[in-house]
Amino acid sequence: MTIEVLNESGAPVDEAQVLDLARFVLAQLRIPPLADLSIMLVDEGTMERLHVQWMDEPGPTDVLSF
C-alpha cells in the first residue's frame, strides 16, 4: 500500500504521525493492500477553490474525498 502525504498548507505538520494514523485507519477498515491513499493538506483559500471546483459549493470545507 502506498500512502502519500503532501503538506501544502504552509503550517508545520508531523507527517510521520499522519502516516501512522492513516496506516492504523486503513488496517482497521481492512482496506486491501493494493490500495493507494494520497493526503493533501492545504490552506483555507486553496480548500475553498477546490470545494467550488469539485463540488460547486461556496466556502471552504473540512474534507474533500474522491
Average pLDDT over all residues of the chain:
95
Residue among 29, 13, 16, 12 nearest 3 (CA): 16
What is the reported pLDDT for 1? 86
In this predicted structure, the answer to whether residue 49 has a pLDDT above a threshold of 90 is yes
In this predicted structure, the answer to whether residue 66 has a pLDDT above a threshold of 90 is no
How far, CA to CA in Å, does 3 sit from each of 39, 54, 56, 64?
Answer: 8, 22, 28, 17
The mean per-residue pLDDT over the stretch 7-16 comes to 96
pTM tops 0.85, yes or no: no
What is the reported pLDDT for 31? 96
The mean per-residue pLDDT over the stretch 23-34 comes to 96
User: Coil, helix or strand for 42?
Assistant: coil
